[in-house]
């Protein structure tokens, strides 16, 4: 009502507003410094030594995995002479020999791709399963949510290495990279699903999701184009750390004797297990593969930690 | 509290049946006839096959077999290994040792982990804090068997402080080294949780109040800060336990501790599938129960938890 009646204005006796301060606000060109989660994270990462160290180590490891022959000419699995058994370093064989007389350095270099491949396959698999199940559970809610989360509880209740031990002992004669990746990944998706679900629950309350639905996009389309991209950040962190966990899991399974067959794949876990008997006389056969394994895992965990800090605005504000 | 317990118990039921069903399904989905494997090279007659299939309920439908198996497990009959030993007997013999090892490990973990977390939390950003964070990073990264070997080689063989392998009857002093390794596995999480939670508690009003009314640090830190920071650490014990099961398998294998983990380790190396499955089933059941117990404990410790959802 009141808006229709013209308001009688008082004569203008207020002093001129000093627009100097406001002018400063206007002078900030909003378009100049774009700011979103990923850009901020990148700006944060750029200035941290841990990020560069871990990224450099990971790039190096990937390079070793792709081109092992650049680093060593010695064959990892044949031309092993028992006369070299547990021998010390020789020209061309910088780290000495294993119990079977194979070149330790060559086995480490060639084992890199095994570890990395298993890690990547498991991570991709777990991420896909976790994202799809977590997104549907979180976004659609209701009985689908309860059902998927109860299934997740069940899988979560089985320590995944134990499950993998059972699966691997079932596949005694068909062990390869895919089987071991499945065995590890099949029981580790619930953590990813849970994290994505809680993030989706938060994001789906936001205005742009309602706007998208109001504009007539289907719910599935909205989920994939608006909800998922905005809730994926924690999954990236979990996946980076998960890659490290998968590499550890592969090595642990190989160490336990339910990993990849020793004669076909070079695996750090296998080598460490084999070196166990020579611990007293030839510690080098055990120490070097252990270092390779630990450094690889450390690099991914460090990357996961810095990325987590960078993607978490709260943690950023505290620093 | 009553409804919290009821709800939590009801939630536990599908988890219990689901997890045992999955293990059962994994084993019995495997190709090949287990009866034929029992005979090795010889071929049994049809009558023998039928009799054995009936004896082991292999002719029943899948779900019936699952419930028969679950009934057996719940009645405490865990079956036999390939060599005919009873799994009950093996577990009865080895379980006490594993329990002692685990207790020792948890004790070390709590004393060292909570203390380190407390100090680095109180002196956030100090030298000790930075060093501790770096050490935890390394502890998280080094796989348990590597840690076990390094400890065995360095502390056991090079320095000779501990015996590198556990002797007959697993006396306490021999268990210290494996327990340290087992504790180190989760130490990082205990330290970090304690640290984070101490920092949070340290900023609370009641702590300022306690200092304000003139209490000494010696009283405020243990009574006001530490007690209130222990809740997340307690809940972490559940996840801790899962990691410890796997860790115990490796550690006991390396140090030759005569425990459940070592038995599993040996069963894996012998390819003794029935024994592997029995032990894993028991471990999963124990894990589910421990989780349940810790959740109830959590609800008791922190009343806020009871009313969520």
The whole-angstrom separation of Cα B252 and Cα B181 is: 10
The whole-angstrom separation of Cα B122 and Cα B196 is: 10
Q: B84 or B262: which carries more pLDDT confidence?
A: B262
Q: For residue B276, name the pLDDT band (cuts at 50, 70, 90).
A: confident
Predicted local distance difference test score (pLDDT) of residue A13: 63
Predicted local distance difference test score (pLDDT) of residue A30: 58
Minimum distance, in Å, between the CA of residue A97 and any CA atom of chain B: 19
The whole-angstrom separation of Cα A228 and Cα A222 is: 9
Section A179-195 average pLDDT: 90
The whole-angstrom separation of Cα B107 and Cα B145 is: 21
- CB spacing of A163 vs B149 below 8 angstroms: no
List CB contacts (< 8 A) between A287 and chain B.
150
- The answer on pLDDT for B309 being more than 50 is no
Q: For residue A63, name the pLDDT band (cuts at 50, 70, 90).
A: very high
Rounded to 5 degrees, what are φ and ψ at A97? -125, 155
- The answer on pLDDT for A235 being more than 70 is yes
Local structure of residue A11 (DSSP, 8 states): P
To which residue do tokens 């900030």 refer?
A28
Predicted local distance difference test score (pLDDT) of residue A121: 95
Q: A43 or A86: which carries more pLDDT confidence?
A: A43
The answer to pTM > 0.95 is: no
The whole-angstrom separation of Cα B110 and Cα B17 is: 33
Q: For residue A107, name the pLDDT band (cuts at 50, 70, 90).
A: confident
Local structure of residue A166 (DSSP, 8 states): H
Section B137-148 average pLDDT: 87
Give yes or no for B268 touching A (CB within 8 A): yes
Section A256-272 average pLDDT: 82
- The answer on pLDDT for A129 being more than 70 is yes
| DSSP notation for B27-95 | HHTSSS-HHHHHHTTS---HHHHHHHHHHTTTTS-HHHHHHHHHHHHHTT---B-TT--BHHHHHHHHH
Torsion angle (degrees, nearest 10) of CA B165, B168, B169, B174: -30
The whole-angstrom separation of Cα B168 and Cα B166 is: 7
Q: For residue A130, name the pLDDT band (cuts at 50, 70, 90).
A: very high
Q: For residue A131, name the pLDDT band (cuts at 50, 70, 90).
A: very high
Write the pLDDT tens digit of every residue in A21-57: 666 666 666 555 666 778 888 888 888 888 999 999 9
Indicate the burial class of B200 (C-beta count within 10 angstroms; 0-12, 13-18, 19 or more).
middle
B160: left (phi over 0), alpha (psi -120 to 50) or beta: left
- The answer on pLDDT for A184 being more than 60 is yes
Query: Which of A66, A47, A46, A70 lies closest to A58, judged by CA?
Result: A66
Section A200-225 average pLDDT: 88
- In DSSP terms, A103 is beta-bridged to A97
Task: Determine the residue of chain B that is closest to A272 in CA distance.
Answer: B146
Write the pLDDT tens digit of every residue in B117-131: 999 988 888 899 889
- CB spacing of B146 vs A293 below 8 angstroms: yes
Predicted local distance difference test score (pLDDT) of residue A1: 44
Section A69-83 average pLDDT: 71
Cα A250 versus chain centre, distance: 15
- Provide the ipTM: 0.81
List CB contacts (< 8 A) between B291 and chain A.
157
Rounded to 5 degrees, what are φ and ψ at B125? 85, -5
Predicted local distance difference test score (pLDDT) of residue A54: 92
The whole-angstrom separation of Cα A229 and Cα B113 is: 38
Give yes or no for A182 touching B (CB within 8 A): no
Q: For residue B106, name the pLDDT band (cuts at 50, 70, 90).
A: confident
Residues of chain A numbered 256-275 and touching chain B (CB < 8 Å): 256-258, 269, 272-273
Query: Vertex B258, ends B252 and B264: CA angle to 5°?
Result: 60
Task: Determine the residue of chain A that is closest to B24 in CA distance.
Answer: A166
Mean pLDDT, chain B, as a whole number? 81
- The answer on pLDDT for A166 being more than 90 is no
What is the token pair recorded at A214?
Answer: 């109001």
Q: For residue A266, name the pLDDT band (cuts at 50, 70, 90).
A: confident
Rounded to 5 degrees, what are φ and ψ at B80? -125, 160
To which residue do tokens 């989760």 refer?
B186
Write the pLDDT tens digit of every residue in B2-61: 888 888 888 888 888 888 888 888 777 665 566 666 666 677 777 877 777 777 666 677
Mean pLDDT, chain A, as a whole number? 82
List CB contacts (< 8 A) between B146 and chain A.
272, 290, 293-294
- In DSSP terms, A136 is beta-bridged to none
List CB contacts (< 8 A) between B137 and chain A.
298, 301-302, 305
Section A9-29 average pLDDT: 64
- The answer on pLDDT for B99 being more than 50 is yes
- The answer on pLDDT for A87 being more than 70 is no
- CB spacing of A294 vs B254 below 8 angstroms: no
Write the pLDDT tens digit of every residue in B214-229: 888 888 888 888 888 8
Task: Determine the residue of chain A that is closest to B10 in CA distance.
Answer: A150
Section B108-117 average pLDDT: 90
Predicted local distance difference test score (pLDDT) of residue B34: 63
Give yes or no for A249 touching B (CB within 8 A): no
- The answer on pLDDT for B73 being more than 60 is yes
| DSSP notation for A254-268 | HHHT-SS-TTT---H
SS3 B248: helix
Q: B281 or A97: which carries more pLDDT confidence?
A: B281
- The answer on pLDDT for B74 being more than 60 is yes
**Helix (H) / strand (E) containing B151:** helix B144-151
Section A168-190 average pLDDT: 86
Section B189-207 average pLDDT: 88
- CB spacing of A159 vs B284 below 8 angstroms: yes
Rounded to 5 degrees, what are φ and ψ at A109? -60, -45
The whole-angstrom separation of Cα B246 and Cα A188 is: 15
């Amino acid at each position: 009502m009141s808006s229709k009646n013209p308001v009688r204005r008082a004569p203008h006796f207020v002093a001129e507003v000093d627009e100097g301060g406001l002018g400063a606000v206007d002078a900030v060109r909003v378009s100049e410094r774009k700011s979103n989660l990923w850009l901020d994270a990148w700006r944060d990462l750029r200035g941290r030594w841990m990020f560069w160290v871990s990224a450099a180590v990971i790039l190096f490891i990937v390079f070793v995995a792709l081109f092992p022959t650049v680093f060593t000419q010695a064959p990892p699995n044949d031309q092993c002479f028992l006369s070299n058994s547990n021998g010390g370093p020789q020209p061309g064989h910088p780290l000495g020999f294993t119990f079977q007389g194979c070149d330790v350095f060559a086995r480490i270099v060639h084992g890199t791709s095994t570890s990395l491949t298993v890690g990547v396959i498991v991570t991709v698999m777990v991420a896909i399963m976790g994202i799809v199940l977590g997104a549907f559970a979180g976004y659609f809610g209701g009985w689908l949510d309860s059902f998927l989360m109860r299934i997740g509880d069940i899988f979560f209740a089985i320590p995944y290495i134990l499950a993998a031990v059972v699966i691997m002992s079932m596949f005694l004669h068909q062990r390869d990279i895919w089987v071991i990746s499945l065995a590890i990944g099949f029981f580790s998706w619930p953590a990813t699903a849970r994290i994505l679900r809680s993030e989706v629950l938060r994001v789906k309350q936001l205005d742009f999701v309602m706007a998208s639905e109001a504009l007539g996009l289907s719910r599935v389309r909205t989920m994939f184009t608006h909800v998922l991209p905005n809730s994926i950040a924690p999954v990236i962190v979990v996946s980076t750390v998960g890659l490290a966990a998968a590499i550890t899991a592969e090595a642990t399974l190989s160490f336990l004797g339910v990993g990849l067959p020793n004669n076909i794949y070079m695996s750090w876990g296998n080598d460490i297990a084999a070196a166990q008997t020579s611990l007293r006389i030839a510690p080098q056969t055990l120490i070097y593969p252990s270092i390779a394994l630990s450094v690889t895992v450390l690099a991914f965990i460090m990357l996961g930690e810095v990325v987590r800090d960078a993607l978490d605005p709260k943690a950023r504000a505290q620093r | 509290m009553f409804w919290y317990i009821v709800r939590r118990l009801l939630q536990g039921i599908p988890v219990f049946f689901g997890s045992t069903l999955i293990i059962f399904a994994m084993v019995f989905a495997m190709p090949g006839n287990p009866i034929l494997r029992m005979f090795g090279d010889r071929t049994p007659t049809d009558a023998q096959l039928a009799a054995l299939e009936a004896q082991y309920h292999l002719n029943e439908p899948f779900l019936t077999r699952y419930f028969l198996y679950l009934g057996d497990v719940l009645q405490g009959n865990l079956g036999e290994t390939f060599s005919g030993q009873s799994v009950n007997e093996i577990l009865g013999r080895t379980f006490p040792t594993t329990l002692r090892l685990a207790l020792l490990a948890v004790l070390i973990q709590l004393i060292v982990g909570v203390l380190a977390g407390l100090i680095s939390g109180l002196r956030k950003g100090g030298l000790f804090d930075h060093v501790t964070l770096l050490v935890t990073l390394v502890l998280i990264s080094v796989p348990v068997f590597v840690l076990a070997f390094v400890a065995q080689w360095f502390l056991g063989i090079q320095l000779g402080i501990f015996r590198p392998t556990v002797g007959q009857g697993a006396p306490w002093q021999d268990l210290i080294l494996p327990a340290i390794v087992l504790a180190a596995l989760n130490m990082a999480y205990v330290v970090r949780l304690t640290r984070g939670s101490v920092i949070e508690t340290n900023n609370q009003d009641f702590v300022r109040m306690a200092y304000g009314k003139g209490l000494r640090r010696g009283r405020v830190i243990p009574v006001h800060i530490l007690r209130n920071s222990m809740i997340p650490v307690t809940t972490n014990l559940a996840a801790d336990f899962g990691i410890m099961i796997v860790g115990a398998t490796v550690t006991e294998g390396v140090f030759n501790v005569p425990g459940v983990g070592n038995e599993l380790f040996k069963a894996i190396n012998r390819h003794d599938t029935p024994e592997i499955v029995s032990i894993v089933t028991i471990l999963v059941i124990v894990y589910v129960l421990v989780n349940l117990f810790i959740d109830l404990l959590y609800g008791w410790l922190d009343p806020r938890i009871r009313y969520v959802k």
